Chain A
Amino acid sequence: LHGIASTLPAALVALVLGCLPFLVLVILSFTNFSFSLPDRSGRWVGFDNYERILSDSELGAAVLRTGLFAAIAVSIEAMLGTALAFCVWLRGGRAKLCVLFLVLPCLLAPVTAGLLGRLLFHGDYGPIAYALQRIGALPGGTILGDTTLAFTALLLLDCWQWTPLVFLMVLVALHSIPQGLILSARIDGASTGRILRSIVLPIIAPTIGLAAVIRFLDAMREFEKVFYLTGGGPASSTEVLAVYSHRIAFDHGNVAYAAAIAVVGLLGTLVLTRLLLTSARRILL
């Protein structure tokens, strides 16, 4: 009991720091507060902002785009990361230095990754765009100015940055498999393929699942990379949910509407997290 009492102040601080902003957010979402209004005063408007969400077709498109982006990116990252982890694991001790290089991208600040991508893909002075132009594979002359190519560039950049995360998590799981297990299977006459299928895969499957869940939820809130790679363009072809709501809140100054979107987004996240975690647990364990 003493332990609880002595940590009560800290728990209280944690609660206040965590809950006060949330309370402000919910209250804001029921007003028409806006930074672009001259007097900056908000009036209670009830559920107006929430009704607007239902009829906002731009928002719907952004949500779909985000889902598409997350689904494609995570599938590629999960497969590639697992494959890489297997390669390094099978090579044993000789591959340790390459772990460092493989891990680096996912530790970079996302804003650095976004700006770096812009540097590489830029139509006027980006080396990738230049190379594609030289071999004539870029009729439009631009990557980030083309709706499909910009989305592809975004996917590539995300895979470059986050495949290492899956790789790292799976590699750790692979290393936690007791050697004796594999040895005894081998003594019993199991082939390498059989060992991979019946021993290794069941052990690392939950880790792959967890990595995919974490990556999926993270991709759904992707902001900085998109914001600085394309800024949501061209013609909102890469405008994911986070970029859209950021534009509403800080470019249009419509804080109240952005707050309503955030509240709905938060509820969606809670449901999605719970669903993904339980279904992943049911399938994989």
Chain B
Amino acid sequence: MFRPTLENIRAEYNGVALADLVRNSLIIASVSAALSTIIGAAAAYGITRSSARWASNLFWLVLSSRMAPLTVFTVPLFFMFAYTGMRGTYAAVILAHTVANLSLSLWFLWRAFGRIPRSLEIAAQIDGATPFRAALSTTWRLSLPAIATCYFLCFVLSWNEFTFASLVSAADTRPITASLPAFMAQGSSQWGAFAAVASLSAFPTLILAALIVRLFRANPANHQSLEGAAIG
């Protein structure tokens, strides 16, 4: 009944090369993660260095935007991309994912920057560094692990994201996650193929799981990264 086979790990399905799907996913996830991390980091830095009054509402704001109905994002973005003719390009999917992940990276990095004492930066300035240099070599330098974690989280979220990717991408820009349902069209369900592609598409997720377990082993009370993963 069950015969193990490597039949399902083929290079091509229904005329779509598996390598192309992975390439599309890599392009979209890496660029959008970079964009949302950079923009989020800069904005988060600005918030930690300004008054704490409106920053205290940030958690609520971020949480609500994460929890808003999906159509709040899909409807206007779909409309905008369709109207400007951007639909089907990498840029459309990348922008959509950047918007979706921005609140997470903003909140995550705001927490990370908030942990680093301001006095370090001031000390560097007293030692003669320009404000830019001072920020770079203290706050930003010390936050590098958090920034890297944030990048990876955004990468996995973008990789796993389905709705935008399937609405906005075209056949030649479709990432692997968005192509999954194509393997179970009614009547000719290719479950073997689906399972093979699904396992492949879950690869970054597996790395994330391993990282979480490692973090957990190193310091079980390490809230920050786990919290970020939770919100994500």
| Set of chain B residues within 8 Å of A20, measured between Cβ atoms | 80
Let me know if B52 is at the binding interface, CB within 8 A: no
Given contacts A111-B181, A249-B74, A262 and B226 within 8 Å (CB-CB): no
B81-105 toward A: CB 8 Å interface, digit per residue (1/0)? 0000000000000010011001100
Let me know if A82 is at the binding interface, CB within 8 A: no
- B71 & A258 in contact (Cβ 8 Å cutoff): yes
Task: State in angstroms the CA–CA spacing of A28 and B79 once bound together.
Answer: 9
Let me know if A57 is at the binding interface, CB within 8 A: no
| Set of chain B residues within 8 Å of A176, measured between Cβ atoms | 220-221, 223
Number of interface residues of A (CB under 8 A): 71
Task: State in angstroms the CA–CA spacing of A83 and B170 once bound together.
Answer: 45
* Interface CB pairs A-B, < 8 A, 19: A3-B49, A14-B106, A17-B39, A17-B99, A28-B75, A96-B213, A96-B217, A99-B216, A104-B206, A107-B156, A168-B226, A169-B226, A172-B226, A218-B67, A221-B69, A223-B163, A250-B78, A255-B75, A273-B64
Stretch at the interface among B5-13, B144-152, B194-202: B194-202
Q: How many A-B residue pairs have C-beta atoms within 8 angstroms? Tell me.
A: 209
Let me know if A135 is at the binding interface, CB within 8 A: no
B165-208 toward A: CB 8 Å interface, digit per residue (1/0)? 00100000000011011001000010100100010011001101
- A269 & B223 in contact (Cβ 8 Å cutoff): no
| Set of chain B residues within 8 Å of A109, measured between Cβ atoms | 159-162, 177, 201-202, 205
Please tell me which one of the listed residues A223, A249, A274 contacts residue B60 in the complex, with CB atoms under 8 A apart: A274
Task: Give me the interface of B with A, judged by CB distance under 8 Å.
Answer: 38-43, 45-46, 49-50, 60, 63-80, 95, 98-99, 102-103, 106, 131-132, 135, 156, 159-163, 167, 177-178, 180-181, 184, 189, 191, 194, 198, 201-202, 205-206, 208-210, 212-213, 216-217, 220-223, 226-227, 229-231
| Set of chain B residues within 8 Å of A78, measured between Cβ atoms | none
The 6 closest A-B pairs by CB, nearest first: A10-B42, A7-B46, A175-B220, A109-B160, A217-B67, A3-B49
- A241 & B69 in contact (Cβ 8 Å cutoff): yes
Residue among B42, B99, B205, B217 with max Cβ neighbours from chain A (10 Å)? B42
Please tell me which one of the listed residues B72, B167, B201, B231 contacts residue A25 in the complex, with CB atoms under 8 A apart: B72
- A14 & B43 in contact (Cβ 8 Å cutoff): yes
Cβ distance A71 to chain B, nearest Cβ, rounded Å: 16
- A220 & B221 in contact (Cβ 8 Å cutoff): no
Task: State in angstroms the CA–CA spacing of A262 and B180 once bound together.
Answer: 27
- B160 & A8 in contact (Cβ 8 Å cutoff): no
- B72 & A265 in contact (Cβ 8 Å cutoff): yes
Cβ distance A279 to chain B, nearest Cβ, rounded Å: 13
Given contacts A99-B216, A168-B230, 7 further A-B contacts (CB under 8 A): A4-B46, A24-B79, A100-B213, A107-B229, A168-B229, A172-B221, A249-B75
Q: Secondary structure at chain A's binding surface: helix, strand, loop or mixed?
A: helix
Please tell me which one of the listed residues B45, B98, B184, B229 contacts residue A118 in the complex, with CB atoms under 8 A apart: B184
Task: State in angstroms the CA–CA spacing of A116 and B181 once bound together.
Answer: 11
- B72 & A103 in contact (Cβ 8 Å cutoff): no
- B60 & A103 in contact (Cβ 8 Å cutoff): no
Given contacts A103-B209, A176-B221, A258-B71, A25 and B177 within 8 Å (CB-CB): no
A2-29 toward B: CB 8 Å interface, digit per residue (1/0)? 1110111111011001101110110010
Task: State in angstroms the CA–CA spacing of A112 and B160 once bound together.
Answer: 9
Please tell me which one of the listed residues A21, A217, A269, A277 contacts residue B76 in the complex, with CB atoms under 8 A apart: A21
Let me know if A214 is at the binding interface, CB within 8 A: yes
- B209 & A107 in contact (Cβ 8 Å cutoff): yes
| Set of chain A residues within 8 Å of B132, measured between Cβ atoms | 2, 6
- B221 & A211 in contact (Cβ 8 Å cutoff): no
Closest to B135 in A: A3
- A259 & B75 in contact (Cβ 8 Å cutoff): yes
Task: State in angstroms the CA–CA spacing of A96 and B131 once bound together.
Answer: 45
Task: State in angstroms the CA–CA spacing of A53 and B229 once bound together.
Answer: 35
Task: State in angstroms the CA–CA spacing of A11 and B54 once bound together.
Answer: 14
| Set of chain B residues within 8 Å of A242, measured between Cβ atoms | 69-71
